[in-house]
């Protein structure tokens, strides 16, 4: 285990599973096969984040992480799966490496608590939550907001319609609302209230659900895997868009030449590159 000079606090933690040694970050529990890779990663938690994204307030401690992040905004995915029949593409080589394991039986990431093995580090991190006590948090089936189980009943009352059967409406714009919770979140569009703050970049949001989606741009969490090819995504709607490529659904048509695309961004890129001035 390595320690910061003068502070005595540990920044690197070594975990030794039964099969081979891995190195675990004490801040986020990510694991690495080599100490040098862990040391480079640890700097993302401690050094000043001097590299700011051109498209959003996110900041990073390393320029290469910024480049990977900005590819998400640009829909730039230069790393393509080479398995025959799989068209998955990724913004970073490490995402491709994780994805490639879905085509294999290799499970190199082992839980030190129960010895269960996983194909990717992301799947291991999700599993580790059950050992760390985070399983006490549950998700609302209506809005997907996470909370402690003891708060769920009170929260669900916000989803009930008005007692007299009237549909709730926004006082500002008259838009109909499904329930009190939806109304409360919607009103923040008019008031500008953004009570949910990202602890990584201080960007503020009007709902916990929106904040949760944003945080994945920092954690690289991709909890929505494609059942067909294994490609994983940070958002459910992005997964649904991706799944169109497997079904052959192409709803976005180019008005210039009639060519159709599965994603709006792909049509926009086509129009710019092929028909642009």
CATH of the domain at 257: 3.30.160.60
Instruction: Enter the pTM of the model.
Output: 0.34
123 located within any domain:
no
Residues forming beta bridges with residue 51, ordered by sequence position:
60
31 located within any domain:
yes
pLDDT value of position 105: 66
Structure tokens at 80: 């393509």
pLDDT value of position 98: 74
277 located within any domain:
yes
30 located within any domain:
yes
Residue with tokens 């695309």: 261
The H or E element that residue 56 is part of is none
21 located within any domain:
yes
Residues forming beta bridges with residue 31, ordered by sequence position:
24
Buried (b) or exposed (e) across 90-113, using 16+ Cβ within 10 A? bbbeebbebbbbbbeeeebbbbee
Q: Which domain holds residue 270?
A: 235-277
Buried (b) or exposed (e) across 130-152, using 16+ Cβ within 10 A? eeeeeeeeeebeebebeeeeeeb
**Which residue numbers in the chain have pLDDT < 50?**
1-19, 135, 162-165
pLDDT value of position 16: 42
171 located within any domain:
no
Number of domains in the chain: 2
169 located within any domain:
no
16 located within any domain:
yes
CA atoms lying within 13 Å on the CB side of residue 153: 1
CA distance between the termini of the chain: 58
Which residue stretches of 25-90 are H helix? 35-46, 63-74
């Amino acid at each position: 285990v390595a320690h910061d000079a003068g502070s005595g606090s540990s920044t690197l933690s070594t975990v030794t599973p039964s099969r081979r040694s891995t190195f675990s970050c004490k801040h986020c529990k990510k694991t690495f096969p080599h100490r040098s890779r862990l040391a480079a990663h640890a700097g993302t938690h401690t050094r000043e984040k001097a590299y700011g994204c051109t498209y959003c307030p996110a900041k990073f401690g390393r320029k290469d992480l910024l480049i990977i992040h900005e590819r998400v905004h640009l829909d730039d995915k230069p790393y393509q799966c080479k398995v025959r029949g799989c068209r998955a593409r990724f913004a970073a080589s490490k995402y491709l490496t994780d994805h490639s394991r879905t085509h294999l039986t290799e499970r190199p990431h082992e839980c030190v608590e129960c010895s269960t093995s996983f194909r990717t580090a992301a799947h291991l991190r999700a599993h580790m939550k059950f050992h760390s006590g985070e399983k006490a948090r549950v998700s609302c089936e209506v809005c997907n907001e996470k909370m402690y189980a003891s708060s769920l009943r009170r929260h669900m009352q916000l989803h009930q319609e008005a007692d007299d059967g009237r549909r709730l409406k926004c006082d500002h714009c008259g838009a109909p609302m499904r329930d009190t919770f939806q109304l409360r979140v919607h009103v923040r569009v008019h008031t500008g209230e953004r009570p949910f703050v990202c602890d990584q970049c201080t960007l503020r949001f009007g709902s916990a659900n929106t904040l949760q989606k944003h945080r994945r741009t920092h954690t690289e969490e991709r909890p929505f895997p494609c059942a067909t090819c294994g490609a994983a995504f940070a958002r459910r709607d992005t997964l649904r868009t991706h799944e169109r490529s497997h079904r052959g659904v192409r709803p976005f048509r180019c008005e210039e030449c009639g060519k159709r695309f599965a994603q709006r961004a792909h049509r926009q890129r086509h129009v710019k590159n092929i028909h642009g001035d």
